[in-house]
Amino acid sequence: MWGLSCTFAVEIFERMKIGYDGKRAVQNATGLGNYSRYVVESLSAFAPENEYWLYAPSPRKNRQLSLLVEESKGLVSIHYPSSCLWKSMRALWRIGGIWKDLQRDEIELFHGLSNELPFTIRKARKVKSVVTVHDLIFLKLPHCFSPIDRWIYNQKCRYACRHADHIIAVSECTKRDIIRYYGISESKISVIYQGCNPIFSSSVPADKRWEVACCYHLPKRYILSVGTIEERKNALTLVQALAHLPKELHLVLVGRPTAYTLKVKDFIHKAGLQERVHFLHGVSSDDLPAIYQCAESFVYPSVYEGFGIPVLEALHSGIPVVAATGSCLEEAGGAHSLYVAPYDVEALAAAIQKTSVPSVRAAMIEEGRKWAKRFTPEQMAHDTMTCYRKVCGAID
């Protein structure tokens, strides 16, 4: 847990009871789960005058969440369906029946943390609502989703944006997309950035780095990319760029494989790059900082992102970042990271080469660390509580 901030300690507000869609916080180890836990942990640390109630359809063992609840000293609690009826229909409870629980528990504001709100949110009298929208990938890249998934995601997100009292967008890019696709007024949307786990800001001891390198058979020199190996993340372009780089430089891809991985591996085989590309899946979160810090650079040619937390993780880890243009990655990486068009193989290879120039590399690392300091749990807590209190009429 983060320590309390003096800035927040001097602000006196009435106690609020705030509810959250806690499904992702309970069930997801990465991605939306990390975001959900980050929001609640930030608020419980820097706005300790409130109660934070996580509503989840089903329990699941989650060490990160258990630690968060324990260290919050009663500020954070988890709640599941209580009646036999809703225990037998947990998914329906989350999107519909939950409104009675919110009303019974006297929740003042409910925050949907992952693009959606219960379809019955308006039934919960006196309960204000906020939704976080991470991205509209299902509309920007529809071919990456099945028709039914695309329809479901769109219905949920459109409903949430139209019926929420306020929307939190994780980037200016996402804000623009919400306005464009759903016609939402700009005044209804606040951009509030997420930070990353502070573990990435700490220098990993040499013996730990050596241990991790041996455990995962890491090559001596490598560039790193972290994220699900799917079409949108564009690993194929990165592997193609590797063919233009010195043979002693390897590539480490950390992330869950998908069917797209076969396409990437097919190119690797045809190009004779089998010895230079390393796939890692199921990496411990405790080991990931060492993998970042052992890398020469971080490369993220993703075609579209809502924000790009791995970019922040890399900046905190003290390695140069090369990313793609076209979405929000410039917001995450700042002016001193390098950006190229997503499918420009030669430009990507040239940018990666540039990060090895000593003077360029030193400046990128120094400025990158400065930029990363803008995204703190304290700032997120401040901005989020300001949003909540405006929605509830506590401040103008």
Angle between helices 32-46 and 377-391 (to 10 degrees): 80
In a domain, 55, yes or no: yes
In a domain, 228, yes or no: yes
What CATH number corresponds to the domain at position 41? 3.40.50.2000
Q: Give the residue numbers spanning the domain of 157.
A: 6-195+376-391
How many of the other CB atoms lie within 10 Å of CB of 21? 25
Residues 126 and 148 occupy one common structural domain:
yes
In a domain, 26, yes or no: yes
For residue 82, pLDDT over 90 is answered with no
Question: Mind listing the pLDDT tens digit for each residue in 16-29?
Answer: 999 999 999 999 98
Residue 272 φ then ψ, to 5°: 70, 35
In a domain, 287, yes or no: yes
pLDDT at 4: 46
* pLDDT band with cut points at 50, 70 and 90 for residue 136: very high
Residues 162 and 215 occupy one common structural domain:
no
In a domain, 227, yes or no: yes
Residues 13 and 114 occupy one common structural domain:
yes
Name 361's Cβ contacts closer than 8 Å, sequence gap at least 6.
320, 355
For residue 14, pLDDT over 90 is answered with no
Residue with the two structure tokens 């939704």: 131
pLDDT at 1: 54
**Least confident stretch, 6-20, 73-87, 285-299, 300-314:** 6-20
Mean pLDDT of 146-168: 97
Mean pLDDT of 367-379: 95
In a domain, 262, yes or no: yes
In a domain, 1, yes or no: no
Predicted model pTM: 0.92
Residues 141 and 232 occupy one common structural domain:
no
Question: Mind listing the pLDDT tens digit for each residue in 338-367?
Answer: 999 999 999 999 999 999 999 999 999 999
Residues 13 and 147 occupy one common structural domain:
yes
Across the chain, mean pLDDT equals 94
Residues 73 and 181 occupy one common structural domain:
yes
For residue 138, pLDDT over 50 is answered with yes
Residues 215 and 339 occupy one common structural domain:
yes
Residues 34 and 167 occupy one common structural domain:
yes
In a domain, 396, yes or no: no
pLDDT at 201: 92
Residues 76 and 108 occupy one common structural domain:
yes
* pLDDT band with cut points at 50, 70 and 90 for residue 5: very low
Residues 182 and 284 occupy one common structural domain:
no
Question: Mind listing the pLDDT tens digit for each residue in 261-281?
Answer: 999 999 999 999 999 999 999
User: Cα–Cα distance between 202 and 316 in angstroms, integer?
Assistant: 8
* pLDDT band with cut points at 50, 70 and 90 for residue 146: very high
Listed in sequence order, the DSSP H helices in 14-59 are 23-27, 32-46
Residues 233 and 136 occupy one common structural domain:
no
pLDDT at 332: 96
User: Cα–Cα distance between 156 and 174 in angstroms, integer?
Assistant: 16
Q: For the chain, how many structural domains are there in total?
A: 2
Taking alpha carbons only, the member of 288, 381, 327, 295 closest to residue 29 is 288
Residues 185 and 203 occupy one common structural domain:
no
User: Cα–Cα distance between 155 and 81 in angstroms, integer?
Assistant: 24
